[in-house]
Structure 1
């Protein structure tokens, strides 16, 4: 097979997507690039093809403010005789799909699974290892929490922010290794750190009641534990059915029972049914007080916004429609 570039999201799902694709074609990419969906247009504009005739993109959603710039660059790339495949599971508008396919891109879009799941279903559905990796990845990426390996591997992937670490993991997954002694050692260290951090969480969240349901609202802290693991801990301890966190610039929603993407849409955001987010800039004065250790002003401001959004959107139970094989 000819050389190809992989361009993926800089998280577990992006890393797993690249590994599943490499196994499907029997070859690691010439280069793997990690980026964010909101920065994709800038990345593509700077990308030098250097003779490569194939580009694979995965786990990178389309963004309304940048899609036209992305499409223009993709048109140029395909005009150079480069084959482009784009695998994604985020919510797309039909017009975005049309623009991308008209630019000559082969788009694989499926909201019922995670990014690695889209690659697996379309490229190598019979590969048992890819099925296991995609299952673990989907479990944490779209907040299904139905595969214990997902919680373990997520900690390993997030052990280091360096892209070289993710490439190292991709190469291990490519070889068909899901777990090894190195991963076990990292997991044990990470869990020890998290256990020490749980004691401080009470200062960072409050629980409110909306329409008879408990909602936990948190102001971000410096981990460990990180926000994902802490959210599960807090919901279990308090009986909250929705977890919301804000860091001053953005807000995120999590639930294992209710469709929370509808809440993110109230803020102009989006995401998955059980994991979504949006931009939310907290007033400077509240952020100032938070920096000096006074969190209640920011907490109250965010809580008011959250309560209004949830009341406007209303609670709706999540109905799983995922059709991915494990």
Structure 2
């Protein structure tokens, strides 16, 4: 890691970072100054996207019955990701409108209370997806995808936005189950939310398949929790940028036995297929029974050991980014 990169990642307080930037600028060459200025400018996109997403979700909540929990959840998720962003943003910086901020504190107090002590179970765009599915109804696949594509056109591309949606269903006439890719920015944030989802949100078989690869250890031989989704189950991913169909990556092939000729591996747990298949297995008992891990290493002892390893890695990442206030709980949004 270069000294300049360390300067970008070590200092977690925005004011501290800016102070160091200005104090060091006299000694920097013009190209380095421009690079850091561009970095700071780009980081503002997090704050801009966060405000737009929150504002839109509030509007949608007003016209979507029984959706308050999604606003509550997305507030916590965004506040947490803002805290651990390379240039961190507080809730007050994300929501500069004092009247709006005061109203949110009154109606949704728990995200403000727990974003420094509890981890989100999933990334923010999953809440956006759920809101639109509630509005359009699960059977209206094209409307759901178009609404998501329309929404992201107003957002910057690199922060809090998923790039892919996946649709899974037992058969052509059955209920559709949706998932989106991780809407996190940076390796640490992605790894934290993937680990949290494994431990608290995803179906146990899907989480096990991800955990098989989550802790990278060349000496890890004790378990293989990968699964094989039945061949007659539909699992299709689409780009949220242009709507084009996307083949499963090699990671999804390895974890779920999805047929693919793609060689590229995305980070395990990042893809939209993960959330979509998790929702499928939670709701389709027959498919879940057919997808049970086949390895002899799939035992209660090994499952416990795998979860302990994921938890250890999660704690190590949090420690490395100086987030030392986690109380061990995963955030549960406010009920209706």
Which interval holds the TM-score relative to the shorter structure? Answer: under 0.3
Q: Compute the TM-score of the two structures, normalised by the length of structure 1.
A: 0.25
User: Which protein, 1 or 2, shows the higher relative CO under an 8 Å CA cutoff with sep ≥ 6?
Assistant: 2
Q: Compute the TM-score of the two structures, normalised by the length of structure 2.
A: 0.25
Greater fraction strand: 1
Greater fraction helix: 2
